[in-house]
Structures are given as structure tokens and as C-alpha cells.
Amino acid sequence: MTLRLREAWIVLACVVATLVAGCGASRPPRPSLAKILSYDATAKTVVLTLVPGATNMFSGYNYNGYGRGAVLVDVPLGWRVTVRCINDVASVPHSCAVVRDGGNATAPIFPGAASPDPQTGLPAGHSAEFSFVASRPGGYRIACLIPEHETMGMWDAFEISRTQRPSIREIRFYGGE
């Protein structure tokens, strides 16, 4: 084997080894959207499970790896919404709240539509659940109310409409972590 060909193989081997070594270094991938939302049409209830900082996307300012309005949760008018806010991945406090659309919210839009002390947040390793009735149609946001977290990307879209069934879908795509 010539010296040049041998050097090329060594370089290629190093590149492959570097790529393989980095494959397991990041947090788990984003969960399927189907695992984030569940509902009971007969009881007219929706359960939304939010995991703050689930991935490194947006420097960890995300829910379930999504943020900056990438996901739209659509809930039928009049249904009861239960939100499970599970801060078991992030190493910093986060909160979950349904707020007015437009950014930089400081309070939930409906009574009971936020985790406890939403501007202080849930410490790492803690969870909370809250529930409210989707009583006013319109466009809202799911956001972290700790100062600057929403600005950093920790929000997604939330709509209350006259639809028959709840749904969740990705409406914007942001590549890699």
C-alpha cells in the first residue's frame, strides 16, 4: 500500500471514530408527539405531558425537545385540560403555563393554568399537575414563566377551537440539537 493511500485510510478511520464516539453523547431524542398528548373523547378530557429541558435544543429551553412555536396543541372548546409538568431532566427550575399569545407573559390566561409559583418554577427533579377548562376560543402559548425563559425559546402554540378532537402537530421544524 502506498504511503498516500495509507494516510487516507488513517484519516478516514479517525473521522469515522469521531462520529461514532459522539453519537451517544447527547440527551435522548425528542419523544413522539403522540406520547405528549392523550385524550378521552367521552369524558372530554385532555392530558398534556410537558418535560422542560428534555433535550439540548435551544440550549435546553424547550418542552419535550420542542420550542419557539414548533408545536401546535389544539384543544376543543369546553374540554378539561390537565397538564403534567415533569422537570426531571433539566438541572434548573422551569414552569409550565398557558398564557396569552405574544410573548413575555407573566401570568396564566386561565385560573389554574400554570404550575405552582410559575415565575420561580419547579426545582430540578420535581413535578406538578394542573387543570383548567378550555373556556375561551383563541390562540395562546404554552410557556415557562421564569424571567427570560420564554424569550430563550421555551414556548409552543396552544389553540382552543371548535374542533371535535384534540391534536398535536409540528408546525415549524428546527434542525438538530
Show me where the domains of the chain are located.
31-170
Cell of 89: 431532566
Q: What pLDDT score was predicted for residue 28?
A: 53
DSSP letter (8 states) at residue 86: E
Determine whether domain 31-170 maps to CATH 2.60.40.1840.
no
Longest dimension (CA), the chain: 75
Predicted pLDDT at 134: 97
HSE of 177 in the Cβ direction (CA atoms, 13 Å)?
20
Q: Which helix (H) or strand (E) holds 168?
A: strand 167-170
Q: How far apart are CA 135 and CA 66, in angstroms?
A: 26
Q: Mean pLDDT, consecutive 10-residue segments, the chain of 177 residues? A: 51 43 49 90 98 93 95 98 94 96 87 95 96 97 95 96 96 73
> How far is 147 from 107, CA to CA, in rounded Å?
11
Question: What does the alpha-carbon distance between residue 64 and residue 62 come to, in Å, rounded to a whole number?
Answer: 6
- Please report the pLDDT score of residue 36 as a whole number: 95
- Spatial distance between the Cα atoms of 101 and 56, rounded to a whole number of angstroms: 25
CA distance 136 to 160: 7
- State residue 173's pLDDT score: 83
Give the whole-angstrom CA distance, residue 10 versus residue 22: 19
- What is the predicted pLDDT for the residue at 11? 42
